Amino acid sequence: MQIEHSHSAGRRGALTRARHCLQGALPHCGGDGCTLTRRLWRRARWWKAAIRLHGTQYCVPQCFEGAMRECLDRIVRTAAPSPAVRHRIPLGLLLLSRGQLSNRQLRTALQAQQDCGSHRLGEWLARMGYATEQQVTAGLGAQWACPVLTSEVSPDLRMLRLLPFRWLETFRMLPLQYVPSTRMFYLAFSEGIDYPALNAVEQMLDCRTEACLISASAMDRALEHSGRQRGPGDLLFEGWRDAAEMAHITCGYAAKLGVKEVRAVGCGGHVWVRLSAGSDVAHLLFRSAVAGRNR
């Protein structure tokens, strides 16, 4: 009896060791209800590496797509376009107080803006010759209490890979410098600081941001150059999709590209998904029809 008990204990020990070996060989999965048996069966059909979503690992596309759908569902509910920030001192009154504009010029520019129904006041003032572009940019800097960059801006291709081009184009944003030691990312705007967009960048890249302002013409030239430099992994999907469809599209690209890390954020009617496979990065940007009309 003692020998049989010893053999039984030995078999249980061997089974336990085998189970531990399997658990070590198969990646842990954050998917709900994904057991060792399911992982073993699924891994027999899926030979590629596990995928991480915001740091949580998923063993196979089925588990990843379910988690991606839940993540995108939360983002979609909070990614609606935000109302424009109103300042205590409008740009026209600020330039008026500085003696850079007359009452007649301000009223004329405001009337032209109202009649046309588009473009910002600063654009009308510069277009009508009532204020220089530098004066308008300096006024915006005073409004937003941030520095103004007066020198010409040359986009760095390495910085452009960190963000999708359509995101930069939509929010009139330009990456200037990233400091790895402090994880500080410096970015420029030309129409005021879009803090929700900055916050989304911080969440996506796990960094801190500092913003400055540049002139509209400098931004136009930089974005034109950036558009020519963007790579094939920068994809825009027009028209709002539900979370399930976006998750399915993301899962397809993740499997195709052999992606190891996925992150997603939302801002202003946009959902940005970043796919990382080592040093290679691809961006999927889903844009709602409302966001497309408002920009």
The answer to whether position 161 is within a domain reads yes
Do residues 168 and 196 both lie within one domain? yes
First-to-final CA distance of the chain: 81
pLDDT at 22: 44
pLDDT at 41: 44
Do residues 137 and 177 both lie within one domain? no
CATH number at residue 207: 3.30.300.160
Do residues 163 and 134 both lie within one domain? no
- Mean pLDDT over 36-40 rounds to 51
- Mean pLDDT over 161-165 rounds to 91
- Mean pLDDT over 31-42 rounds to 53
Joined tokens for residue 52? 């991480």
Q: Into how many domains does the chain fold? A: 3
The answer to whether position 38 is within a domain reads yes
Do residues 250 and 292 both lie within one domain? yes
Does pLDDT of 121 surpass 70?
yes
Do residues 222 and 286 both lie within one domain? no
Do residues 128 and 192 both lie within one domain? no
Do residues 255 and 211 both lie within one domain? no
Does pLDDT of 293 surpass 50?
no
The answer to whether position 165 is within a domain reads yes
Do residues 226 and 242 both lie within one domain? no
DSSP string, 150-166: -S-----HHHHTTS-HH
Do residues 115 and 72 both lie within one domain? no
**What CA–CA distance (Å, rounded) separates 284 from 155?**
21
**What CA–CA distance (Å, rounded) separates 237 from 206?**
25
Q: Which has more pLDDT, 257 or 9?
A: 257
Question: What SS3 state is found at 258?
Answer: coil
Per-residue pLDDT band for 29 (boundaries 50, 70, 90) equals low
Percent of the chain with pLDDT over 90: 52
The answer to whether position 83 is within a domain reads no
The answer to whether position 86 is within a domain reads no
**What CA–CA distance (Å, rounded) separates 109 from 119?**
11
pLDDT at 48: 56
pLDDT at 61: 77
Can you point out the beta strands (E) in the chain?
51-53, 56-58, 173-179, 184-189, 208-213, 234-238, 261-267, 270-277, 280-287
Percent of the chain with pLDDT over 70: 78
Do residues 257 and 202 both lie within one domain? no
Q: Which has more pLDDT, 28 or 277?
A: 277
Which residue is associated with the tokens 């596990």? 50
Do residues 205 and 249 both lie within one domain? no
Residues 6+ apart with CB under 8 A from 223: 168, 169, 172, 174
Q: Looking at residue 288, what DSSP letter applies?
A: -
For 71-108, give one letter per residue: b (16+ CB within 10 A) or e.
Answer: bbeebbeebebeeeeeeeeebbebbbeeebbeeebbee
Does pLDDT of 8 surpass 70?
no
- Mean pLDDT over 5-10 rounds to 52
181-218 pLDDT, tens digit per residue, is 999 999 999 989 999 999 999 999 999 999 999 999 99
**What CA–CA distance (Å, rounded) separates 178 from 27?**
33
Backbone φ/ψ region at 191: left (φ over 0), alpha (ψ -120 to 50), beta: alpha
The answer to whether position 85 is within a domain reads no
Which residue, of 121, 144, 167, is where some domain finishes? 144
Residue range(s) defining the domain that contains residue 207: 146-231
Do residues 13 and 42 both lie within one domain? yes
Which residue, of 231, 262, 281, is where some domain finishes? 231
In the predicted model, what is the mean pLDDT of the chain?
Answer: 82
pLDDT at 186: 94
